[in-house]
Structure 1
Amino acid sequence: MSAKIDWSILSEVEKLKYESNYLRGTLEQSLADPVTGAIADGDTQLSKFHGIYQQHDRDLEKERKQQKLEPAFSFLIRVRLPGGAVTPAQWLQMDRLADEHANGTLKLTTRQAFQLHGVIKKKLKPTIQGINEVLLDTIAACGDVNRNVMSHANPEESEIHAQAYKLAGDISAHLLPQTTAYHEIWLDKKLLVDGKKDVEPLYGDRYLPRKFKIGVAVPPSNDVDIFSQDLGFIAIQENGKLVGYNVVAGGGFGSTFGMPETYPRLGDVIGFCTPEQAVDVAEKILLVQKDNGNRQNRKLARLKYTIDRNGLDWFNAEVNKYLGYELQPARPFHFTRNGDRYGWVKGTNGKWNMNLFVEGGRVKDTESLKLKTALREVAQQVDAQFILTANQNLILANTTEKDKVNQILGKYGVWPVQLSGLRQNSIACVALNTCGLAFAEAERYLPTLISRLETILDEYQLLKEEIVIRMTGCPNGCGRPYLAEIGFIGKSPGRYNLYLGGNLNGTRLNTLYKETLSEEEILAELRPIIADFAQNRANNEGFGDFVIRKEYVKETVQGKDFKH
């Protein structure tokens, strides 16, 4: 143990990382322990770096306590997938693993990644090995490292989109942890010769103070919600060519009820870099955070707090110092929306792309909708790319077999489908029954609430009106609720805080309107606002803009002003 580090003032996780032998800990012993379905407490933190979260079924919690049984432990496995694109073979493998080792469903996340839920401990290793068999992996999908790098959904939309997608992959590869622990523990590979030790040239022996998220956006689409990222790159084009990226820093949405010093924050545009500089800029900003982030209080450890604690001028100076050159002044850009575009679109390469709505990002079969079966048949029969979007949806991309796709989707009732503008702009986090942080439902409940809201919207001829609605079971912000025009954050079972005033292009935080509402109270609060919107909106005025203009809420200008 280093005598230079005062461990007494640091969070316990800092010492755990330092003593983990580069993320090994006692994971191998935990996996081999037949007495419990869980892993050791310290290993629950280290396993995140390997893409794994320990959870338990909260629906069964009371019953198992009464029976004096341990919780029904299982694990979430998250795949690292920069840019969100997979081949049909990779999709089929994930589909198979979901059936054989998980709960039979695939979760498409808001970071363009797969999650498998309900994997029990003895199935962890074969599942991860199965993921690696098709050249995917789970390392750094979670933990205090750079996580899955996002980019605009379809790289074939233009040359610029392809370059943005490539940048996401390049950054992800460059910032990947170098420890060989992942290969040893999960893939049974010994990469180090005897006597040689692991080294982390970027992360060091304690990694980052907290998670770090990066996205790449291509205007006019802000589908990756670039201002929610710790670090963002906005593609700037001139005369149809990519000339570089505006750099955005300091976004992040995690916060805690009862702790006003925690808050969601939008990133600041701090400058412009050339395409050749982008990976270096990502590295150096990550290093500024590594060296200056708060390692005493994990709730205040994200880059947004580092910037607010020291000031934006200080941060910009540090970034330039680490780079050894100055970022150029930011260049003009314009976003029009952060939602997905549904249906068929022909790409510049002459191939077709179908954007499918996936409610809550959950790929599953129900009695009324055989989505999982339909997508399996597409993967088996059609030459197409599968691209996960940042809004939990799916693009069947770059195919010449449009009619075949239509036939399969139509057979299972997947497409065509009528969607309200509200539903097609919805996001929900997993929440209950598996997330240990959730206070209330989200994914399992939001569709029902939307149906009741649609009844009101229909009364006022607003069913087709695009309104961004998002729900999370806690204030940590995994579903980016703070950008929604109508946002819900679970406060307790069946009760939600209601936030209003985000916008359609993801450039403004919303504001708390009412606290701890039941469903009936939510409907009663929103009905008169929807009626007012229908009757008194300005031409082409969005719902979020309307509620601010009519002073239902005041605009939240800075994250530090945000109130729960």
Structure 2
Amino acid sequence: MTDIITRLREVSFDDLHPNERLKVDSDYLRGSLLKGMADTATGAVVPDDTQLTKFHGFYMQDDRDVRNERRQRKLEPLYSFMVRLRLPGGRISAAQWQTLDDVASDYANDTLRITTRQTFQYHGVFKENLRAHLKTINDAMIDTIAACGDVNRNITSTANPHRSALHRQVYELAGEISAHLLPRTRAYHEIFLGEERVAGGPDEVYEPLYTQHYLPRKFKIGLAIPPDNELDVFANDVAFIADVGEDGTLNGFNVAVGGGMGTTHGEPATYPRMASVIGFCTTEQVVDVAEKIMLVQRDNGNRQDRKNARLKYTVDTMTVEGFKAAVEEYLGYELAADRPFEFTTTGDQLGWYQGEDGQWHYGLYIENGRIRDYPANNPIHAGMQIKSGLRAIADMHDGDIVLTTNQNVIITCVAEKDRERIDAIIDQYRMVKNVTPMRQHSMACVAFPTCGLAMAESERYLPGLLDKLDSIMKKAGLENDPIVVRMSGCPNGCSRPFMAEIGFVGKAIGRYNLYLGGNETGTRLNKMYRENIDEKTILEELTPLLHRYASEREAGECFGDFVIRAGVIKATTQGLDFHEQ
């Protein structure tokens, strides 16, 4: 195999995507950011630097709700940054929560947003507040390095490391992989934390894994423990699926490659894909296998067309067997044969439950992951004080607080004597409302007003649509049935809509593509059912289908399975025919 430096020495930058030259010329992600951060005449940074900020964990955005008004007033857009944390496995201490809560109030828009990759992101961080924001969380032993950009991003793990010794072991492996695949450049520390630059050395000193080329596109890894698949492990570039012995011992992991959700409307060469299982590795081999899969992608991924640069396209270009052979060549040994496994759910455990050691944990539902205090006149969340309530819990709690990939929170390791206190806080701050199973299994991306890619509303719209769908469900006698519903404001699919039983993907303001046929275990892609429809049509389409499901379903049959059996859509069988989408 030819490594990336050798291969690209033979290729003109004119034949590559402009970002490839940008990375090489960036002085290991420094660019002109030091100068740009000091420019107080604008809230923005120059275009090239907007690409580099992603590697450091934040995106430049502007408030699209006020864009036209500011244009009319001849003002620049209201620029700010979305800041995302690197938080492998989603675990933070109560003391860290206090800091992150303070940062939201002092330097952001007074909210925290749990992402579908088990971390926090902040919105509305103005350039003049960015350094203070990053320094404050750094003092709490948290950073944003590689939370975005063409690198390995935040690693997800089966929720709650305190649930059992096995969960703790898998969580720790997620941290080991994250640390091993972290970029080595000190640009972040120099530009944003005030570290003095040390005289440089050869390329390999700066980036022994990434080189100055980094990866062709983002790279995501997840670790799951069957039968729970709450992190939708097959949506990852690399999926590690635990194999556990009868005595609870972790034997190792099935390895799957090539998952990814992002597509582009109208371009069939882009598509969602589920990861393909290529073998099995021992626990001791996990970090090595993760590295070598990443290096095969580094050296073979598409650097001409970023829309086809994810690992899923590399796997399809090389074929699954060809990609596996390349990984084994880099490893110097063969992967073992994969082992059987089964997933049964993608949902979180909410309310009180006990872990293996008898400690209590509380799963708290957070609609679409937005942690904020709502005014009394909010039509959906009237008077819910979620941010203040969680801060009150953090102030009295000795355990950890864990984020989930379903955008919820787990308050862990609660002593028996403290359960009543936490229940009282939850009641005092009105943190829990009546949540139907459908709503509990729903997710939405951020979309408007901050995401520059959004074509339609998502986070702000889905709760109201769910109210109407819940009403239909109740009339059909389905109010106690879980159906996985997800909405994304664009086809990048951050909320993993292509794996939902009912998926909505934004096409334009007020219009969505409707997808049906995923399943409740996260093991099948859905398919487009109707294109570019408004809410009226959405309800007209789903109402008779939900009533048919109520009257015609078989025992234990989920909605996604029903629409396939009933012939509403064609089966996808793991998404092997995803090119047809």
Q: TM-score, normalised by structure 1?
A: 0.98
Instruction: Indicate conservation of the 8 Å contact 2:272/2:578, yes or no.
Output: no
Which residue number in structure 2 is paired with residue 412 of structure 1? 429
Q: Once the 2 structures are TM-superposed, how far is the Cα of residue 514 of structure 1 from its aligned partner?
A: 0.5
Q: Once the 2 structures are TM-superposed, how far is the Cα of residue 413 of structure 1 from its aligned partner?
A: 1.5
Q: Once the 2 structures are TM-superposed, how far is the Cα of residue 457 of structure 1 from its aligned partner?
A: 0.5
Which residue number in structure 2 is paired with residue 147 of structure 1? 153
Please give the per-residue CA displacement for 1:455-504, whole angstroms capped at 9, x wherever unaligned: 11110111110100000000001110000000000000000110000000
Q: Once the 2 structures are TM-superposed, how far is the Cα of residue 385 of structure 1 from its aligned partner?
A: 1.0
Task: Find the residue that maps to 1:555 and give its secondary structure.
Answer: coil
Residues in 1 aligned to 2:42 and 2:163: alpha-carbon distance in whole angstroms:
49
Task: Find the residue that maps to 1:546 and give its secondary structure.
Answer: helix
Q: Once the 2 structures are TM-superposed, how far is the Cα of residue 191 of structure 1 from its aligned partner?
A: 5.2
Give the direction of change, closer, same or farther, for the CA distance of 1:3–1:227 in structure 2 (3 Å limit): closer
Residues in 2 aligned to 1:93 and 1:438: alpha-carbon distance in whole angstroms:
30
Structure 2 residue corresponding to 1:233, chosen from 225, 237, 240: 240
Give the direction of change, closer, same or farther, for the CA distance of 1:136–1:36 in structure 2 (3 Å limit): same
Task: Find the residue that maps to 2:361 and give its secondary structure.
Answer: strand
Which residue number in structure 2 is paired with residue 541 of structure 1? 557
Q: Does 1:389 align with 2:404?
A: yes
Please give the per-residue CA displacement for 1:31-53, whole angstroms capped at 9, x wherever unaligned: 11122110010000000000010
User: Equivalent residues in 2 for 1:283-432 (5 A)?
Assistant: 283-367=291-375, 368-400=383-415, 401-415=418-432, 417-432=433-448
Q: Once the 2 structures are TM-superposed, how far is the Cα of residue 312 of structure 1 from its aligned partner?
A: 1.0
Please give the per-residue CA displacement for 1:525-564, whole angstroms capped at 9, x wherever unaligned: 0000000001010001000000010011112243663556
Q: Once the 2 structures are TM-superposed, how far is the Cα of residue 349 of structure 1 from its aligned partner?
A: 1.6
Instruction: Indicate conservation of the 8 Å contact 1:58/1:433, yes or no.
Output: yes
Residues in 1 aligned to 2:343 and 2:201: alpha-carbon distance in whole angstroms:
53
Residues in 1 aligned to 2:198 and 2:243: alpha-carbon distance in whole angstroms:
43
Give the gaps of 5 or more residues in structure 2.
376-382
Task: Find the residue that maps to 1:203 and give its secondary structure.
Answer: coil
Residues in 1 aligned to 2:334 and 2:580: alpha-carbon distance in whole angstroms:
35
Which residue number in structure 1 is paired with residue 517 of structure 2? 501
Q: Does 1:51 align with 2:52?
A: no
Please give the per-residue CA displacement for 1:311-368, whole angstroms capped at 9, x wherever unaligned: 1111111011111000000001110011111110011122111111100100000122
Residues in 2 aligned to 1:226 and 1:195: alpha-carbon distance in whole angstroms:
39
Please give the per-residue CA displacement for 1:116-143, whole angstroms capped at 9, x wherever unaligned: 1001111111101111010000000000
Instruction: Indicate conservation of the 8 Å contact 1:106/1:362, yes or no.
Output: yes
Residues in 1 aligned to 2:578 and 2:59: alpha-carbon distance in whole angstroms:
32
Residues in 2 aligned to 1:275 and 1:537: alpha-carbon distance in whole angstroms:
41
Which residue number in structure 2 is paired with residue 22 of structure 1? 28
Residues in 2 aligned to 1:183 and 1:399: alpha-carbon distance in whole angstroms:
36
Structure 1 residue corresponding to 2:14, chosen from 5, 8, 14: 8
Task: Find the residue that maps to 1:58 and give its secondary structure.
Answer: coil
Q: Once the 2 structures are TM-superposed, how far is the Cα of residue 5 of structure 1 from its aligned partner?
A: 3.6
Which residue number in structure 1 is paired with residue 224 of structure 2? 217
Instruction: Indicate conservation of the 8 Å contact 1:252/1:267, yes or no.
Output: yes
One-letter code of the match for 2:193? L
User: Equivalent residues in 2 for 1:162-201 (5 A)?
Assistant: 162-190=168-196, 192-193=198-199, 199-201=206-208
Q: Once the 2 structures are TM-superposed, how far is the Cα of residue 418 of structure 1 from its aligned partner?
A: 2.2
Task: Find the residue that maps to 2:41 and give its secondary structure.
Answer: coil
Which residue number in structure 2 is paired with residue 439 of structure 1? 455
Residues in 2 aligned to 1:406 and 1:130: alpha-carbon distance in whole angstroms:
31
Instruction: Indicate conservation of the 8 Å contact 1:106/1:114, yes or no.
Output: yes
Residues in 2 aligned to 1:11 and 1:512: alpha-carbon distance in whole angstroms:
30
Residues in 2 aligned to 1:498 and 1:405: alpha-carbon distance in whole angstroms:
40
Q: Does 1:157 align with 2:163?
A: yes
Please give the per-residue CA displacement for 1:502-530, whole angstroms capped at 9, x wherever unaligned: 00000000000001111111111000000
Task: Find the residue that maps to 2:471 and give its secondary structure.
Answer: helix
Please give the per-residue CA displacement for 1:188-243, whole angstroms capped at 9, x wherever unaligned: 01252477875200000110000000000011000111100000100101122110
Task: Find the residue that maps to 1:235 and give its secondary structure.
Answer: strand
Residues in 2 aligned to 1:227 and 1:194: alpha-carbon distance in whole angstroms:
40
Residues in 2 aligned to 1:404 and 1:562: alpha-carbon distance in whole angstroms:
53
Please give the per-residue CA displacement for 1:3-34, whole angstroms capped at 9, x wherever unaligned: 64410110000000000000000001111112
Residues in 2 aligned to 1:189 and 1:321: alpha-carbon distance in whole angstroms:
39
One-letter code of the match for 2:386? L
Q: How well do the aligned residues superpose, as a CA RMSD in angstroms?
A: 1.3
Residues in 2 aligned to 1:40 and 1:292: alpha-carbon distance in whole angstroms:
30
Equivalent residue pairs, number: 563
Give the direction of change, closer, same or farther, for the CA distance of 1:277–1:191 in structure 2 (3 Å limit): farther
Which residue number in structure 2 is paired with residue 465 of structure 1? 481
Give the direction of change, closer, same or farther, for the CA distance of 1:119–1:252 in structure 2 (3 Å limit): same
One-letter code of the match for 1:385? D
Which residue number in structure 2 is paired with residue 73 of structure 1? 79
The range that moved more, 321-330 or 1-10, is 1-10
Residues in 2 aligned to 1:188 and 1:406: alpha-carbon distance in whole angstroms:
43
Residues in 2 aligned to 1:54 and 1:182: alpha-carbon distance in whole angstroms:
16
Which residue number in structure 1 is paired with residue 530 of structure 2? 514
Residues in 1 aligned to 2:108 and 2:338: alpha-carbon distance in whole angstroms:
46
Instruction: Indicate conservation of the 8 Å contact 1:281/1:323, yes or no.
Output: yes
Residues in 2 aligned to 1:101 and 1:63: alpha-carbon distance in whole angstroms:
24
Instruction: Indicate conservation of the 8 Å contact 2:273/2:578, yes or no.
Output: no
Please give the per-residue CA displacement for 1:368-427, whole angstroms capped at 9, x wherever unaligned: 200101000000012221100000110011111211111111111114x42111100011
Residues in 1 aligned to 2:314 and 2:518: alpha-carbon distance in whole angstroms:
25
Residues in 1 aligned to 2:404 and 2:576: alpha-carbon distance in whole angstroms:
26
Residues in 2 aligned to 1:271 and 1:194: alpha-carbon distance in whole angstroms:
40
Which residue number in structure 2 is paired with residue 481 of structure 1? 497
Which residue number in structure 1 is paired with residue 120 of structure 2? 114
Give the gaps of 5 or more residues in structure 1.
none
Instruction: Indicate conservation of the 8 Å contact 1:512/1:563, yes or no.
Output: no
Instruction: Indicate conservation of the 8 Å contact 1:129/1:187, yes or no.
Output: yes
Structure 1 residue corresponding to 2:543, chosen from 500, 514, 527: 527
Instruction: Indicate conservation of the 8 Å contact 2:457/2:509, yes or no.
Output: yes
Task: Find the residue that maps to 1:118 and give its secondary structure.
Answer: strand
Residues in 2 aligned to 1:196 and 1:287: alpha-carbon distance in whole angstroms:
19
Residues in 1 aligned to 2:53 and 2:38: alpha-carbon distance in whole angstroms:
14
Task: Find the residue that maps to 2:128 and give its secondary structure.
Answer: helix
Residues in 1 aligned to 2:197 and 2:223: alpha-carbon distance in whole angstroms:
33
One-letter code of the match for 1:402? R
